[in-house]
Structure 1
Amino acid sequence: MHNLQARSTVTSHLVTKRTFPIATPSLRLAEIPLHGLIRIQGDGKASKLKASIEAALGVALPLPERSTVNGTTRLVWVGPNEWLVLCALKDEETILQNLTSSLANQFAAVTLVSDARVSFLASGSEAVVFLAKGCGIDVNVAAFPVDAAVTTRFASLPAMLLRQATFEYVLYFDVSMAGFLVEWLADAAEEFEA
């Protein structure tokens, strides 16, 4: 059997005429290296399920369109019956096992999706202006505070948008869209490079 090595990034393997990552004084765009992503699905109204998730992760369930954090583990509300765990790659297997064990004999599913997603960090004082080019979500701090998270469309693609700090946003996409996204992000960022 061959030893397979997990990719750290996707964009480093793309053939493109664009320069990526992008770093200007007011905007930075870069791929976030591979990290753990675990999808949890179950009845969001079931108190036993909620308590089991919280016990397994050591983090409270977030309110709709929000996320909660405990150390390097973030739990994101994706929908009424779905959450996404973001964690360090080194913790992925342990968290997956804890969740699977905690949710045993409950109507729930725990799925590892790390390799199915690609994520990009948009940061800097012009990140809000840049993000407005790709989606209609108001990401100003009053409407979209730190720890806010929504599923939306960005650059006409399904995406999850998360605000992790005042000037830091993370966009998650299907990994198969990485090539298109690098081209789109680089093109949309040209005005900030002047």
Structure 2
Amino acid sequence: MAKLEAAIYVTRRLAPSERFPVRGPTLCIDEQPLGGIVRLQGDAGDAGFAEAVSEATGLALPAPERFAARGDTCLAWSGPTEWLYFCSLDDEQARLRALQAACDGRFATATLISDSRTGFLVSGADSASLLAKGCAIDFSAAACPIGRVVTTRFAGLPTMLLHRGNHEYLVYVDVSYAAFLLHWLLDAVSEFAAVPA
């Protein structure tokens, strides 16, 4: 029986290599390689749950609209009782087991959803301006500081946006929307005179 392997990139077959990834003087866009993602649902007010999650991840449960990161892991608020935990693909099974153990005996659950999301890294001095074309989020430093996560509609799609660093944003959508979002981004980027790789 043939061994199946996960596709590390979804968009490589959706756009010509001369157009994507985008590498411009003030704007760069590339797809994030497939990583592990665990959806964690539980009660943030349950001190035992919060402590168990912290022990399993090395990260404290973040406050609403915030995320915590360490190394290649990230725990992002996704809703009042939900977080997404991002890790390397190689670690996803071990991390899933640790989070399932943290949920054991509680009204909580941890579910692997790695292949259900596609992520794009948008960076450069014009990154916030490009993203502002797709949603009504205020990207000013005061309203959207580094460490903020927002669940919103971007380009008409349900989206999670993380402000990861200075002029650096992660945009996650359902994998079924990858082609639409890729073409939206490639169309929008022309305004910023970015030069494709």
Q: TM-score band (shorter)? A: over 0.9
Pair 1:17–1:103, CA change in 2 (3 A): closer
Which residue of 2 is the match for residue 142 of structure 1? 142
Structure 2 CA distance, aligned partners of 1:97 and 1:185? 36
Q: Are 1:185 and 2:181 counterparts?
A: no
Supply the distance in 1 between the matched residues of 2:90 and 2:50 (Cα, whole angstroms): 25
Is 1:34 equivalent to 2:31 in the alignment? no
Given that 1:141 and 1:166 are in contact with CA atoms closer than 8 Å, whether structure 2 keeps it comes out as no
Letter in 1 for 2:4: L
Could you tell me the percent identity over the aligned residues?
46
Q: What residue in structure 2 maps to residue 157 of structure 1?
A: 157
Is the Cα–Cα contact under 8 Å of residues 38 and 96 in structure 1 kept in the other structure?
yes
State the secondary structure of the residue aligned to 1:179. Answer: helix
Q: Structure 1 residues 135 and 18 mapped into 2: Cα distance closer, same or farther (>3 Å)? A: farther
Matched-pair contact (CA < 8 Å) for 1:40–1:83: yes
Match in the other structure for 1:12? 12
Cα distance in 1 for residues equivalent to 2:182 and 2:16: 8
Question: How does 1:1-194 map onto structure 2 within 5 Å?
Answer: 1-14=1-14, 19-193=19-193
CA RMSD of aligned residues (A): 1.5
Would the alpha carbon gap of residues 18 and 185 (structure 1) be closer, same or farther in structure 2, given more than 3 Å must change?
A: farther
Instruction: Give the number of equivalent residue pairs.
Output: 194
Superposition deviation, residue 101 in structure 1: 1.4
Report the TM-score, using the length of structure 1 for normalisation. 0.95
Deviations 1:5-62 (A, max 9, x none): 1011000122569811111100001111111111001122212111111111111111
User: Which structure has more RCO (C-alpha within 8 Å, separation ≥ 6)?
Assistant: 2
Gaps of 5+ in 2: none
Give the structure-2-normalised TM-score: 0.94
Which aligned segments of 4 or more residues in structure 1 are displaced greater than 3 angstroms?
15-18
